[in-house]
Amino acid sequence: MSRIERDIQGSDDLLPVILKSGKITYLRENKLGQGSFGKVLHYKIQDTSEDVAVKFIKRKEGLQELKMLKKINAFDPDKNCFLKMLDHFEYKSFICVVSEKLDQTLSDIFLKRNQRPFDVCELRPVAQQLLVALRALKAIGLVHCDIKLNNVMFVNHQSYPYKVKLIDFGLVREKPSLRRISDIQIVGYKAPEVVFDCPLDEAVDMWSVGCVLAGMYKAKHLYPRTCLKPSEYMGIPINTYRKFKSLIKQMLCVDQKTRITPEEALNHNFITMKHLSERTKDPYVTSAREIMSVCEPVTTMQPDAPKRHPEHSVYFDNVF
């Protein structure tokens, strides 16, 4: 265990019951979780009783994460499906980042469902919102590098079912710096180019999103999490519907140069439901559109230069 891990995994009692930032006082409630480089606790704003999450990060790593958060929050966090930062300040040797308090991670919900697989109708809004987040990150030249079930959270699953946000920006990197980094992504979500020490770009995040969605549909991790060999990237059969299968296969295209981009994926039939446009009275279509209502409207951006015909990419065809 590293010194950083030892520092942030210490007793919660060492962290303050009362935090002050300017005129705002935060009162501690309980622990929420742990991020890449920090511990997250639940606090309330004294004057308003608003619930917030406070992440305590060692100073060096905290300054790096804060730099990335400022870039990310320059975009509308709600429209782009990012965790919203509300405040930041220093406390002793920590950088404290205050953010909105969300509900539960995809992993939490998965366990509460007794690991029952998600239907593709439930996965469509999750996929759409993650693609919106990836598109925004790409636009500002950032790569998340740590997309997994625990880093996608429902905003409020009871009030806004399937509305999600991407969280934990502790490993976010600017795209040019990826050339000097090989130790990113956890086993089970690692893109092939990371495993094989190839040049890296934002496509590593698309691979991870594909793993998340396929794993939720299959009710188990798509790739093993205890070992990592190049042969494991030959794919695992997954039976699913044609459009969902088409999108996931393009997300899991082994060659990152031909892997689908966020903009292309947002225009895929599985997301837009264009293939269902004539089935206006179908109960499934009605339900699917109702579930998708949590997604913010997507503004069409300049499309990426076409790199492939969507159904004729070089995939590992046995992934599904």
Q: Is 55 annotated as a binding residue?
A: yes
Sheet order of strands, 164-166 included: 104-105, 152-154, 164-166
The span from the CA of 267 to the CA of 289, in Å, is 16
Residue 259 to residues 48, 82, 136, 143, 177, Cα–Cα distance (Å): 46, 23, 17, 15, 21
- Number of neighbours of residue 234 by Cβ within 10 angstroms: 11
- Active site residues per annotation: 146
> Nearest to residue 129, comparing CAs of 294, 245, 302?
294
CA dihedral 261, 262, 264, 268 (to 10 degrees): 130
The span from the CA of 197 to the CA of 204, in Å, is 12
Q: Tell the residue number behind the tokens 């179908």, with chain if given.
A: 282
The span from the CA of 181 to the CA of 199, in Å, is 10
Which sign does the torsion angle of CA 99, 79, 245, 286 carry? Answer: positive
The span from the CA of 171 to the CA of 310, in Å, is 31
Q: Rounded to the nearest 5°, which phi and psi values hold at 25? A: -115, 130
The span from the CA of 271 to the CA of 306, in Å, is 19
Binding residues: 55
Binding residues for ATP: 55
